[in-house]
Chains A and B, each alone.
Chain A
Amino acid sequence: MQQTMNALVEFVVPEAKVEAAATRRLIRTLDRFLPGPQPLSATAATILNETAERMKPGAKRGKSASAFANLSRAEKAKVFEALEALPVEVAGSIRFLVGNLPDLTAFLAYSTPAGRRLAHYAGVAHGRKELKGYWQGRKAADGGA
């Protein structure tokens, strides 16, 4: 599971400096989101790995114990393509989970200190010297109709 989530982070934001923290946050987020007998991160990893193996038999034989992690970037994209093609009527919850994985990963990666540096973000602050005034000098709109 850890390796699959790590591979997902690397797929979305390939940056060594964010990987560890983003993977940790991703697992924590998924597992808190929907508690159950099986952690949601494990369910997500299973879905990605099973789809990877179905698409590329033998994918689990490789550097990683995760079939998804062993795929090339193009093959990983195909995993998402296959999952997004599942009919909503039978796989709605999977569509929801898988659909949110890339954007959740990106959110978490760019929320880390290393992610913020990647974006050259000035950092959180209580205020900014950024006031430019008012458009056409108007500080109030005209009244009602």
Chain B
Amino acid sequence: MRDVIVVGAGAGGPVVAKELAERGLDVLLLEAGPAWEHSEREWSHHEDEANNPATGIFRFGPGDRTQAPWARDLPQNCFVWQTAGVGGSTVHYFGNSPRAMPGAFAGYEGADASAYDTTAVASFTYRELIPYYEWVEHTLPVQTAAMGTKEEQFLRAAAKLGLPTQTSKDISGPAFRPQENAILQPQGTAGRTNKAKQLVYPRAKGCTFCGHCPQGCFLPLASPRNLRAKRSTHTSYVPMALTADRWTRGKAVTLVADAFAVRIETADGKARGITWRNTRTGTTTTEEAKVVVLAAGPIETPRLWLNSGLPNPNDQVGRGLTDHYLDFVVGRLPHYTGSSKGPTSAARVDYPGRGCLEQAGVSPGLQAQGVTDSDAGIRGFYDNGLPGGRLIGAPLKRFLSDVDRLIGIAVITDDDVAPENRVTLSTTMAPDVHGPVARVELRHRSARTLANREFLASRAVELARAAGAREVLRVNWAPVLLHMHSTMRMGGVLTNEAESRSVERLFVADNSSLPNALGGPNPTLTTQALATRTAEKIFVRYFGGDPWVGRESPVSSVDDTVTQAVLAAGL
């Protein structure tokens, strides 16, 4: 019997796995997608190869890409951007690691307290979370982003609008700043040359400004896996977990990839283990554990729960999906912006009580997708009664005639928890080999959510103009689900220690455990901080240990001891 089984090697699962392995527990980490043990050979900068939702390397599907991706019942125009594989969606994420808005937590007494949705908050305070933020920020590590041309223009534009620079990691008022990113700062030749031969580790260290964050990061070339620029968990927490017997006196985690969890095993109201299916052979395996941690993501975690027949008190499982109701504003400038180069997003503006804006520059395929995805019709033809719209045809070609003269701004809305937005089991689509598939419904946006989104979109347009854009498009995206949260909310389905209220020894450590949309900031860092807290709660409650955050010093994933361990283990 294992001490702990963790389901899912995305943003949250590897954090729990590494923390508990460091304490000497026997941890099994399951991942439905591929292991990517040779990512430098398996990944590609090319967008169709990397990001095609059906055939791409980074899709929600099995490692064998001759097979179809896994199905979801999505009964509305929307796009789900998730990756299955070790690292999960952090392999394609932008590394943005801001802390949450303090107002999204209990006990907040700021002047703008009434601006937040307080119907769905965890009962712990922001202050209580800070030591966990610090622990994760040191471990990943999180660093202040360096600027390229597009960041410089974005930040100058924000200053021109009269906003102050935020210098703290904590958000206290409307302000702009370079991102706090889980991306190593450029050193040596990185960011200083286009020549591939000069961009080999150790001549280049950290971010090389290649512009391929969404295509995964395997740079600088020849760098040890734990020294890649972008700190996906594939690069940070997983290598630490797999070598916890080398860099510390822990126990190395057992990682099993291509393992799709199909049932949570329980007995006498307690979690007892997990049954999973090998996606390559079709065989199923059951292992027992003293504690089970679900981290399969905000869609698959409730699906697994429901497919396991676990209690669903008050029909709360899967309810309250928040997604930051994202939107996209793009400006076209008469001069160079370098939009397709450098880290995808390295500058932001936060508006407490409203949400955030962040600069977002991508390669032409994703850029084109970004301006053609809308619920507001097709520009020049119809608008469904909404502002914005898809840009297609000759106007699209003209607008995208130079990708490096654009400035892209993502609108990240602080959206309310709405029970109508939810994950259930589909009754209209046939079950797949892993059981009934998830149905994701987005049916309601509160007045506050809609007002926040309009406010932010207007600010984004002003910002693009202040940056020098002569032409500005507000797209009005159909739901793009890449920040998904709160389908297994702490304070709802879960206790405030992220344990199930109805099944003992069963925890959740992914975005689904978040009580709300965090006020708008990108959720990964907060999920990782909470996962650290959850690991500690598990260790104290079920393994008789002591807490460590705030008492010990974390080891960074780029520490020499970790590098030596990673090299010795042949990762």
Interface presence of A45 (CB below 8 A) = no
Among the stretches A11-19, A46-54, A62-70, the one at the interface with B is: A11-19
- A96-128: contact bitstring with B at CB < 8 Å (1 yes, 0 no)? 101110111111111110011011111011111
- A80-110: contact bitstring with B at CB < 8 Å (1 yes, 0 no)? 1100110010001101101110111111111
Interface presence of A1 (CB below 8 A) = no
Interface presence of B148 (CB below 8 A) = yes
Pick the contact of A92 from B76, B167, B384, B402 — CB < 8 Å?
A: B76
Q: Is the CB of A145 within 8 A of B53?
A: no
Q: State the Cβ distance, A105 to closest chain B Cβ, in Å.
A: 8
Residues of the A chain whose Cβ atoms lie less than 8 Å from the Cβ of B169: 141-144
Q: Is the CB of A96 within 8 A of B76?
A: yes
What's the Cα separation between A141 and B97 when bound, in Å?
A: 12
Q: Is the CB of B53 within 8 A of A29?
A: yes
Q: Is the CB of A84 within 8 A of B77?
A: yes
Among residues of A, the one whose C-beta sits closest to the C-beta of B196 is A126
Q: Is the CB of A124 within 8 A of B45?
A: yes
> A84-B77, A92-B75, A141-B180 given as contacts; is B148 within 8 A of A132 (CB)?
yes
Chain A interface residue number, banded: 35 or more
- B123-157: contact bitstring with A at CB < 8 Å (1 yes, 0 no)? 00011001001100000000110111101100100
Pick the contact of B384 from A34, A84, A133, A135 — CB < 8 Å?
A: A84
Q: Is the CB of B372 within 8 A of A12?
A: yes
Q: State the Cβ distance, A90 to closest chain B Cβ, in Å.
A: 10
Among residues of A, the one whose C-beta sits closest to the C-beta of B44 is A124
Q: Is the CB of A96 within 8 A of B78?
A: yes
- Chief secondary structure at chain B's binding surface: loop
Residues of the B chain whose Cβ atoms lie less than 8 Å from the Cβ of A88: 75-76
> A125-B45, A128-B208 given as contacts; is B401 within 8 A of A120 (CB)?
yes
Interface presence of B330 (CB below 8 A) = no
Q: Is the CB of B77 within 8 A of A131?
A: no
> A12-B393, A127-B210 given as contacts; is B381 within 8 A of A77 (CB)?
yes
What's the Cα separation between A112 and B211 when bound, in Å?
A: 17
Interface presence of A38 (CB below 8 A) = no
Q: Is the CB of A130 within 8 A of B77?
A: no
Q: Is the CB of A93 within 8 A of B148?
A: no
Residues of the B chain whose Cβ atoms lie less than 8 Å from the Cβ of A142: 167-169
Residues of the A chain whose Cβ atoms lie less than 8 Å from the Cβ of B68: 32-35
What's the Cα separation between A144 and B99 when bound, in Å?
A: 10
Among the stretches B306-314, B358-366, B448-456, B501-509, the one at the interface with A is: B358-366
Q: State the Cβ distance, A93 to closest chain B Cβ, in Å.
A: 6
Q: State the Cβ distance, B396 to closest chain A Cβ, in Å.
A: 7
Q: Is the CB of B144 within 8 A of A119?
A: no
Interface presence of B549 (CB below 8 A) = no
Give residues of chain B (298-354) contacting chain A, Cβ–Cβ below 8 Å: 338, 340-342, 347
Q: State the Cβ distance, A143 to closest chain B Cβ, in Å.
A: 7
Residues of the A chain whose Cβ atoms lie less than 8 Å from the Cβ of B401: 118-120
Q: State the Cβ distance, A108 to closest chain B Cβ, in Å.
A: 6
Among residues of B, the one whose C-beta sits closest to the C-beta of A116 is B364
Q: Is the CB of A99 within 8 A of B478?
A: yes
What's the Cα separation between A138 and B48 when bound, in Å?
A: 37
Interface presence of B368 (CB below 8 A) = yes
Interface presence of B510 (CB below 8 A) = no
Pick the contact of B210 from A11, A35, A93, A125 — CB < 8 Å?
A: A125
Interface presence of B52 (CB below 8 A) = yes
Q: Is the CB of A130 within 8 A of B209?
A: yes
Residues of the B chain whose Cβ atoms lie less than 8 Å from the Cβ of A140: 143-144
> A125-B196, A130-B148, A142-B169 given as contacts; is B54 within 8 A of A29 (CB)?
yes
> A29-B53, A129-B191 given as contacts; is B77 within 8 A of A96 (CB)?
yes
Interface presence of A60 (CB below 8 A) = no
Q: Is the CB of B393 within 8 A of A81?
A: no
Q: Is the CB of B168 within 8 A of A13?
A: no
What's the Cα separation between A133 and B77 when bound, in Å?
A: 41
> A14-B393, A77-B381 given as contacts; is B147 within 8 A of A132 (CB)?
yes
Pick the contact of B363 from A28, A121, A136, A143 — CB < 8 Å?
A: A121
Give residues of chain B (45-98) contacting chain A, Cβ–Cβ below 8 Å: 45-48, 51-55, 68-69, 71, 73-79
4 additional A-B residue pairs with CB within 8 Å, beyond A116-B364, A127-B204, A141-B180: A11-B393, A29-B52, A121-B340, A128-B208
